[in-house]
Amino acid sequence: MATHEREITGPVDLCLPDGRLDPDAVGWSRVPLHRANLRGWGRTKRWEYRCVTTPTHLVALTVSDLDYLALNSVYLLEYAAAGREFERTAVLPAGRGVRLPDTVAGTPGAADVVVGPERPTRGKVRVEIRDDPAGTRLRARCLTPDRLPLEVDLLVQWPEGHESLSVVVPWSERRFQYTSKHTALPATGRVRIGTETLGFGGDDGEAWAVLDHGRGRWPRTADWNWGAASGRTDGHTVGLQFGGRWTEGTGSTENGLCVDGRLTKIGEELEWRCPASDPMALWTVRTPSSDQVDLTFTPFHNRSAHTDAGLIVNRTDQCFGHYDGRIRTDDGTRSPCGASWAGPRTCTCAGDRRAGAGRHRLVSAGWSATTVHEPGAISVNPASRTTGSPLVVRAGQWARSAVRTARGKPASRQAFRAASSSSHQASCAP
């Protein structure tokens, strides 16, 4: 059964000339069609988040303009017990030097995003998101805590016809969010730390990228859950995108399954469960009125971060682990899911999945709980039943998934259960 939400099929402006939400912009699309012509200051939030994962490591880049300040970051994680994990975040008062386009950065027609000095020192960060003839070019530089130079150079590819999930969530005509989530995007490149190089894609094994593009005018507080993953299973390429809490009561959701580049939009709110006191406990995520999504997330790593910039206080707990369960697309395709994960604010990881005789490569992200306080505003760090056999996801040799929760006052954690037969990717908004 198709979602009750309206599908948008042509270009549309997000706002009316006076800055209010354009009613014609409310809905969802399979490709980015909205131009975020936002007006006003103080509640406006803009961000671009990119996370690229492999079976053994990941890197995530964030560029955000939160009006009061900008937060630009580079995060790296190696999944092994003795692996490296570090994050470098540059805080810029009043968002100085950060200009984000009205459309998805790094795509044709959008202005390139370049923030930070070309050769950053101390706590400074350089991030570049540029359109490239072969896809989107991601570059970044910073110093590690050991003062080693870190350089990121990755290419995210856009397979022809590959669909994504873009949706407008309306709290009111003055408070609304446009989000564009992209999963299961192949990536290649490398991250250099001093004289050592970490490979992504190509001869180094599959790598998957997740994209989180956000533009909106936010209420004073908000609760946010988010989970995603990507990979291969039974010869299919699969991406999962789940969100919740912040969309309740708006008539819109950011839930979808992308199998072989085709999006299945899920119109019902998901059921998320997890003990609030223990971020490393088991998460579950499911569709309450059907078996379209039925997943379990088992964390193996928790990333905890805290930013106190005066105007904005941000606390994040983000877990990485693996998914087990099933998903079902609108055409009745069912898929077993199994993936493990690790990741930052928004991330993805890769893993094996098995369904029948098939092998499944998965990439996913993790979940996090975020609290952000600012004067009069808040920024997040960032059904139906069909016939057929379900796609099953089982925990494999490597895979990653993530769920994320963001809350205004106070921070909270939500359980996440998800099942899919292909892959999962997780992203989190800055």
With the CA atoms of 86, 87, 88 and 90 taken in that order, what torsion angle do they form, in degrees rounded to the nearest 10?
Answer: -160
Band of residue 354 on the pLDDT scale cut at 50, 70, 90: very low
Q: What is the pLDDT of residue 323?
A: 74
Task: Output the six-digit token pair for 107.
Answer: 């795509």
State the Cα–Cα distance between residues 146 and 85, nearest whole angstrom: 12
Give the residue among 149, 129, 167 at the shortest CA–CA distance from 254: 167
Band of residue 347 on the pLDDT scale cut at 50, 70, 90: very low
Q: b vs e for 144-171, b when ≥16 Cβ sit within 10 Å of the residue's Cβ?
A: eeeeeebbbbbbbbbeeebbbbbbbbbb
Band of residue 88 on the pLDDT scale cut at 50, 70, 90: very high
Task: Output the six-digit token pair for 135.
Answer: 């896809």
Stated pTM of the model: 0.81
Q: How many residues does the chain have?
A: 430
Q: Which residues contact 377 (CB under 8 A, 6 or more apart)?
A: 42, 43, 67, 68, 218, 219, 220
Return the minimum-mean-pLDDT range out of 24-33, 115-124, 319-328. Answer: 319-328
Q: What is the pLDDT of residue 348?
A: 30
Q: Give yes or no for a contact between 296 and 323, defined as CB atoms under 8 angstroms apart.
A: yes
Task: Output the six-digit token pair for 348.
Answer: 């993805």
Neighbours of 238 (CB within 10 A): 36
Task: Output the six-digit token pair for 267.
Answer: 């119109």
277-286: pLDDT as tens digits: 787 888 899 9
367-378: pLDDT as tens digits: 433 333 333 322
272-305: pLDDT as tens digits: 998 777 878 888 999 999 989 998 888 877 887 6
Whether pLDDT at 64 is above 90:
yes
